[in-house]
Structure 1
Amino acid sequence: MPGLLCPPGQLLALLVLLLQPTGSLENFTSGSTATLECDPGYTALGATTVRCLASGRWYPRVPACIPEEQCPIPVIPHGREISARKSEYTFGHQAEFHCDHGYVLKGSQRTQCSSEGTWRPPIPYCDRVCDPPPKIANGQHSALGTKQFPYGFEVKYTCMEGLSLIGDESIYCTSDDGENLTWSGPAPECRVVRCPKPVVERGRMTPQRFTFPYGVVLRFSCDEGFGLSGAPESQCQADGSWHPPVPTCQPVLCPQPRVAYGRLQSPLDDKTWYQINETVSLGCAPGYQFSDDGNMSLEDSWTATCLPDGNWTPLPKCKKEDDADVCEEVHYIKSAFGCGLPVAEVKALLEIQKLFLEIKKLEVELEE
């Protein structure tokens, strides 16, 4: 029984390249195969070789021919296509890219022309990068093995043991003009830096140490009776000096004691400053006596000692000898309240006392 014939109408839009067995466009017997190709400007979607089945159908299905869409020629600034360049890029064509020195590829390295005439994934671009960070002698940076250094990339430097890092510990990729990239500053150096041991007579430093490398900070204080002249802290600098300069410890002195209506009895050399533990004798001027909280003392000499903090032991107070009248008046008023005197008499007494105190105050001011 002869096989069914496959309809040729499905192939009329195609160019028949090969017919097996021999046939014509009018009929294809069961088992016949055909290799098909679309007309110029069209692309086949599906298998291009089909076979006539006993059922009178083609297998696989006859492909459709669709108009070809061209993709734009791929061009990337500061880069190039490393695949074979073509005059036209149609559906299925691929392109692969590489960036020039100093640039890094952002996006997919390989892309393909789609049936819609667009590149998928999109064509990448080349972004500017910094050159490799500078190397340093006797040290290294943290980006060993890194090949790309984009904007904002930071590297840190370290030195071999026993050496000090002079300069910024880290630098980063940045831009001075908004276009070109460069490193934020020069690389640091690794050097042997030691500051001399600071000597502070009558003083001490913390922490206690035997070597003083670059960057170490010391704090200073003085023995009792001595005061710090200069900054309390100093740091070892890159040039081997201390900054601020190492301070000194100077003896603490007490200024000459001053007592109102008093005078210095000894020593009589009229010194301006006195050493720690040095003593002086003080007396009151004629017509004045020592007083402590209103109680007059008949002593004619008072001794004061210079303390380690630069102050004197308590100094005396000298009051006019007849100031005792004021104290007696005050005591009398206090007792009057206790005795239950009439309020009118107490008020009169207070007014008299107020007038008395004003007179005494004027006398003192006139004498001064």
Structure 2
Amino acid sequence: MRSNLWISAILVLVLLETIDGGRCPRRFRRRGCRALTLPNTIRSNCQAPFRCGDECRYECVPGCVKRTGARVRVCRFGRYWRGGRGLKCSCRPCGAPPDVRYAGVSGCTAPFTAGTTCSYQCNTGFRRVGGGEIRMCVDGRWEGSTLNCAAIPCPTLTVPAFGSLTPPGPHSYPIRVTFTCNTGYALNGASSTTCQANGTWSDPVPTCTPVQCPTLTAPANGVLIPIGATSYQVRVMFICNPGYHLNGASSVTCRADGTWSNSAPTCTPRVCPTLTPPTNGALSPPGPAYSYPNQVTVTCNPGYQLNGVSPMTCQADGTWSNPVGTCTPRCPDLTAPVNGARTPPTGENSYQDVITFTCNVGYVRTGAFDTTCQADGTWSNPVPTCTRMMI
């Protein structure tokens, strides 16, 4: 009986709604509907008290999706909500959030229920180049675009002059670049540099400078050209002063290992021919070896006179300035004849010296006019005499 009454009431309400064209009849407008709560939904577009004709919209909470039912419900006649079955949402949980290359996840922990959000952030040294940083668990699936992280680039490196770098660019975090220098060049600075998380290099680009060989000293009595050059591949030449002979290589080259290709030469004096002392004489120093610029003095024994030049000098071209002289006997000193004179008046008693004689006025010479000092140390003629003229 009671069920028949309910059916009759419903038929009347349907009839009234049909007659009223779907609008809420005036007599029911003050009546209210009870609040309609649907699990896992959010109600909007209406608020209590719910009057006849109020329209409420329902959406699934974040992380849930519609399974069945209507999103819009209307309060009718202050007694019921029209619009079909209520909205039902599916809210299945998710598994662990997916891993993203070069990124970490934070802001969420298990269990990962529907609506859970996880934040992704690129690791240190990487930057975002695409995708999203938030993923949400929506009905058993993680929604949102995958974060794309790329290594932070560092500025382009310049290859050092006379060197190379490995690997070639471009370079990004955390790559390590190694520098090497060509043969004969030394590295000044760090041998490697690393692209850091902030996009800068850990060390500046080094330089490659020529290997240096030990400083060379000019040989005694010589010079080197150029002075002070010690770099790789530099060629240094040696020249001896006049009168000196080069013993060794005339040039050396600085090699890649920092050594010279040859030892530095020496400059030794040129040697002059051996001298033989003159008969009845001596040499000082006595020899036997003489070299530039030695001087040799020639002396004769007592009673002998030097015919030649002393001292002699060993010259830059290896020859003597003069030949060795000879020692010849000295003739006895001669005095002018009585009442006469000699020319020259003194000296002149060496080999081939000639002395002439004259008599005073009123005196007559008896004997030779002159005399010559001979090689055997005797005079060719005796001193003449001067006798008074007879009147």
Same fold (TM over 0.5): no
If the length of structure 1 is used for normalisation, what is the TM-score? 0.35
If the length of structure 2 is used for normalisation, what is the TM-score? 0.33
User: Which of 1 and 2 has greater Rg?
Assistant: 2
